[in-house]
């Protein structure tokens, strides 16, 4: 029944069917029933005329139509009805359908419905719905009326919300009359556990609830379904992958690892780092492929964890690779890994788009021959020309810029098994979201900062308080510390970049006037410089020859200068929380006091103000990402694009966390007991997942 084409539905016809297909991708009864209302009008509730305010939403009023008068001439002609209830009087206005309106009996009782406005202190509704009480179908009265979203094209072809409601009602009637039982997609034990309505009832109540309780229960079940199947699918993917792919077994810890730990490691690992390394060690020894996400705030010390993971591969005769999203970040990693690995006898190379010609050829050859132990690079690493002798582990930094597809591509770099994969991200993702976005990965979290880090004191200052900012800069510079001033990048478009460099140059004039040579030296770095010039300027700052680094966001992923203690972010209101947080993480690495100053104009949007406030209140990356999620919704958080949650129709990842957790828990239980969904009681699940395969949402994550 649910697969029946809407072409055969009475009251639809070929033209409407065509529009429904084109505009809403509705082809079948089932899809029609899955087109849920986005809100409901409470028809049980009546308003009083005296309650109407200018910003009132739709109102329903019961009253008496006193008289109807004609105003204006020609195309300005309109009818104005005087409508009264016990609380007051209002006007009803019509520009169209005048003949029908003119004949409405006056002095009778009506129910009207519409969106009011207040003009000159008097409420009016243009083109209200109006129904004579005596003619009202009483059954229709006391319900929540569904409202469906429509498009202009739908409206033009008489497929307004009400029409869609009628069509859906006729499908439900057909199902009822033919006594068709809609097969449930949830097994009985879940229905019992959560006391859900049957699918049949749920579909009826989501469209035509008799009361709020019914609506709520129907909604909850549909939200659960949506989140549950998403989780089930991801967990199944993960379980099947574990069954299907063996992983290299790194049985022993050897000299590379031990020598590093005993001789090169300059600090004690935090407990969080130790815990994560143990988790990884376990993955690498159990014969299954590791697919792990390592989350840790900026500066939490992910690099050393990555390096020790690579050393485990090397100790067992395998190669390792590290892939970064940008050239600068790859270079930075290359440098710090070289330092960490000094004297250990590791052959390490950098492979990015800029490595060309003979050098590139040599690296490719040595990778294939297994002479290079560790290669660090950018996207260039996933090119087909890059062949490894024995790639054991791949580290991917900053997951949000790589898609699932690219992760998969690394797998094909070895013949026997796919390499172990560790994905690192500094974008803290709220737990609820991580569950969904990275549902197919195991997750480790470094939730502890290296000792001695003080929270960065953050201030929000207006342009008019710039002298205060200068004062702070001078104080810190007098102590021998250094300052960043950043003009962050919004988009990497050419025009944006030029505008930003202009801002930067204007800023330079002001700063160099306030901080003149020879007492003060300033580095300037931006995206239009030649790599050599950029490098030169950065090196001067790193060596402490310049006190001030003025830059566009190239430093976001760039230099690590523990002596820098102030981060000044210009035009801070233009930037998202995640980016502000990342930038702030560039200071405070030296152990002493550090400051972040957010400079904005005086005029701020409410949202902009909230962002500044959040930054001033907390330095906890997870709290900041929760706030970000609330502001922007899950669709805009890095990493969510391929997750499938964008396609959620009824569940809300922020508000429905309880349902999400319940769904996740039971999905996990089912997959643990029955990873292939072969048990009798889970057949309905397997069937339903198959029907969902066609849906875009699910294709994205498979």
Interface with ligand ADP, residue 316, by CB under 6 A: no
Interface with ligand ADP, residue 310, by CB under 6 A: no
Identify each DSSP E strand in 231-318 by its residue range.
291-296
Restricted to residues 381-440, the positions that interact with ligand ADP (CB under 6 A) are: 426
Please give the size of the binding site for ligand ADP, defined by CB under 6 A.
16
Interface with ligand ADP, residue 558, by CB under 6 A: no
Span interacting with ligand ADP, options 93-101, 266-274, 675-683, 693-701, rule CB under 6 A: 266-274
Interface with ligand ADP, residue 296, by CB under 6 A: yes
For residue 518, say if its preceding peptide bond is cis, omega within 30 degrees of 0: yes
Q: Would you say 353 and 327 are in contact if contact means Cβ atoms under 8 Å apart?
A: yes
Span interacting with ligand ADP, options 112-120, 265-273, 499-507, 624-632, rule CB under 6 A: 265-273
Q: What is the DSSP letter of 650?
A: S
Residue number, 63 or 301, with CB nearest to ligand ADP: 301
Interface with ligand ADP, residue 265, by CB under 6 A: no
Residue number, 90 or 272, with CB nearest to ligand ADP: 272
- State whether the Cα torsion 307-313-319-323 is positive or negative: negative
Span interacting with ligand ADP, options 38-46, 268-276, 386-394, 644-652, rule CB under 6 A: 268-276
Identify each DSSP E strand in 120-204 by its residue range.
122-126, 129-132, 144-147
**Phi and psi (nearest 5°) for 393?**
-150, 140
Q: How many CA atoms lie within 13 A of 509 on its CB side?
A: 5
Span interacting with ligand ADP, options 220-228, 297-305, 614-622, 662-670, rule CB under 6 A: 297-305
Token pair 């169209």: residue:
96
Span interacting with ligand ADP, options 80-88, 264-272, 376-384, 674-682, rule CB under 6 A: 264-272
Q: What angle do CA 622, 666, 190 make, to 5 degrees?
A: 140
Candidates 61, 49, 47; CA nearest to 122 is 49
Residue number, 293 or 648, with CB nearest to ligand ADP: 293
Interface with ligand ADP, residue 267, by CB under 6 A: yes
Q: Which residues contact 155 (CB under 8 A, 6 or more apart)?
A: none
Restricted to residues 85-144, the positions that interact with ligand ADP (CB under 6 A) are: none
Token pair 């009506």: residue:
110
Contact track, ligand ADP, 441-460, x by CB under 6 A: ---------x----------
Minimum CB separation of residue 453 from ligand ADP in Å reads 9
Minimum CB separation of residue 266 from ligand ADP in Å reads 8
Interface with ligand ADP, residue 333, by CB under 6 A: no
Minimum CB separation of residue 588 from ligand ADP in Å reads 10
Interface with ligand ADP, residue 270, by CB under 6 A: yes
Minimum CB separation of residue 700 from ligand ADP in Å reads 29
**Phi and psi (nearest 5°) for 550?**
-105, 130
Altogether, the residues listed in the chain come to a count of 702
Task: Retrieve residue 435's tokens.
Answer: 């569950």
Residue number, 453 or 632, with CB nearest to ligand ADP: 453
Q: Which residues contact 323 (CB under 8 A, 6 or more apart)?
A: 330, 376, 377, 378, 379, 381, 382, 394, 395, 396, 397, 402, 410
Interface with ligand ADP, residue 295, by CB under 6 A: no
Q: Which residues, in sequence order, are bridge partners of residue 395?
A: 322, 422
Q: Strand pairing of 319-323 and 348-351? A: unpaired
Residue number, 306 or 651, with CB nearest to ligand ADP: 306
Interface with ligand ADP, residue 273, by CB under 6 A: yes
Where along the sequence are the contacts to ligand ADP (CB under 6 A)? Answer: 267, 269-270, 273, 296, 298-304, 426, 450, 560, 589
């Amino acid at each position: 029944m649910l697969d029946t084409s809407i072409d055969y539905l009475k009251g639809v016809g070929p033209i409407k069917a065509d529009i429904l297909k084109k505009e809403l991708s509705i082809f079948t009864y089932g899809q029609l029933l899955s087109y849920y209302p986005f809100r409901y009008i409470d028809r049980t509730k009546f308003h009083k005329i005296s309650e109407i305010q200018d910003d009132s939403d739709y109102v329903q009023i019961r009253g008496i139509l006193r008289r109807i008068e004609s105003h204006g001439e020609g195309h300005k002609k309109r009818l104005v009805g005087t409508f009264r209830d016990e609380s007051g009087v209002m006007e009803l206005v019509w520009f169209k359908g005048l003949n029908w309106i003119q004949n409405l009996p006056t002095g009778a009782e009506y129910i009207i419905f519409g969106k009011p406005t207040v003009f000159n202190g008097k409420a009016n509704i243009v083109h209200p719905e109006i129904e004579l009480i005596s003619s009202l179908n009483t059954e229709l009265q006391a319900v929540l009326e569904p409202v469906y979203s429509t498009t202009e094209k739908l409206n033009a072809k008489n497929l307004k919300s009400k029409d869609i409601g009628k069509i859906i009602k006729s499908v439900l009637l057909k199902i009822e009359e033919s006594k068709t039982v809609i097969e449930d997609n949830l097994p009985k034990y879940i229905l019992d556990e959560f006391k859900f309505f049957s699918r049949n009832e749920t579909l009826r109540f989501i469209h035509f609830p008799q009361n709020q309780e019914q609506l709520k229960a129907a909604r909850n079940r549909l939200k659960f379904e949506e989140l549950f199947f998403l989780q089930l699918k991801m967990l199944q993917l993960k379980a099947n992958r574990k069954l299907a792919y063996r992983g290299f077994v790194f049985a022993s810890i050897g000299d590379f690892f031990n020598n590093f730990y005993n001789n090169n490691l300059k600090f004690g690992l935090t407990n969080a780092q130790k815990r994560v390394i143990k988790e990884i060690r376990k993955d690498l020894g159990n014969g299954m492929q590791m697919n792990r996400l390592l989350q840790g705030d900026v500066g939490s010390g992910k690099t050393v964890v990555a390096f020790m993971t690579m050393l485990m591969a090397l100790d067992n005769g395998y190669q390792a690779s590290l892939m970064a999203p940008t050239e600068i970040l790859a270079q930075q990693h290359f440098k710090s890994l070289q330092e960490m690995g000094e004297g250990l006898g590791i052959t390490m190379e950098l492979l990015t788009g800029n490595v060309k010609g003979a050098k590139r050829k040599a690296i490719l050859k040595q990778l294939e021959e297994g002479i290079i132990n560790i290669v660090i690079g950018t996207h260039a690493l996933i090119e087909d020309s890059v062949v490894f002798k024995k790639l054991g582990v791949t580290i991917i930094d900053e997951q949000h810029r790589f898609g699932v597809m690219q992760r998969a591509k690394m797998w094909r770099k070895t013949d026997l098994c796919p390499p172990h994969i560790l994905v690192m991200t500094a974008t803290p993702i709220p737990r609820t979201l991580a569950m969904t976005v990275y549902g197919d990965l195991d997750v480790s979290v470094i939730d502890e900062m290296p000792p001695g880090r003080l929270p960065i004191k953050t201030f929000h200052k207006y342009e008019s308080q710039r002298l205060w900012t200068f004062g702070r800069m001078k104080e810190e510079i007098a102590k021998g510390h250094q300052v960043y001033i950043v003009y962050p990048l919004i988009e990497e478009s050419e025009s944006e970049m030029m505008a930003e460099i202009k801002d930067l140059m204007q800023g330079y004039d002001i700063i160099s006037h306030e901080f003149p040579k020879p007492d003060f030296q300033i580095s300037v770095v931006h995206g239009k410089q030649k790599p050599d010039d950029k490098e030169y300027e950065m090196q001067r700052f790193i060596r402490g020859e310049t006190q001030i680094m003025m830059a566009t966001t190239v430093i976001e992923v760039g230099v690590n200068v523990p002596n820098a203690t102030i981060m000044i972010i210009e035009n801070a209101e233009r930037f998202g929380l995640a980016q502000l947080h990342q930038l702030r993480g560039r200071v405070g690495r030296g152990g002493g006091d550090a400051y972040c100053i957010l400079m904005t104009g005086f005029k701020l949007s409410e949202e902009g103000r909230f962002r500044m406030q959040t930054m001033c209140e907390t330095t906890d990356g997870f709290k900041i990402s929760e706030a970000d999620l609330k502001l922007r919704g899950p669709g805009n958080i890095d990493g969510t694009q391929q997750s499938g949650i964008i396609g959620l129709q009824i569940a809300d990842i922020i508000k429905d966390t309880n349902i999400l957790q319940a769904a996740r828990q039971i999905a996990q239980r089912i997959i643990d007991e029955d990873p292939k969904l072969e048990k009798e009681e889970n057949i309905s699940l397997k069937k339903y997942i198959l029907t969902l395969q066609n849906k875009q949402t699910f294709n994205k994550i498979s």
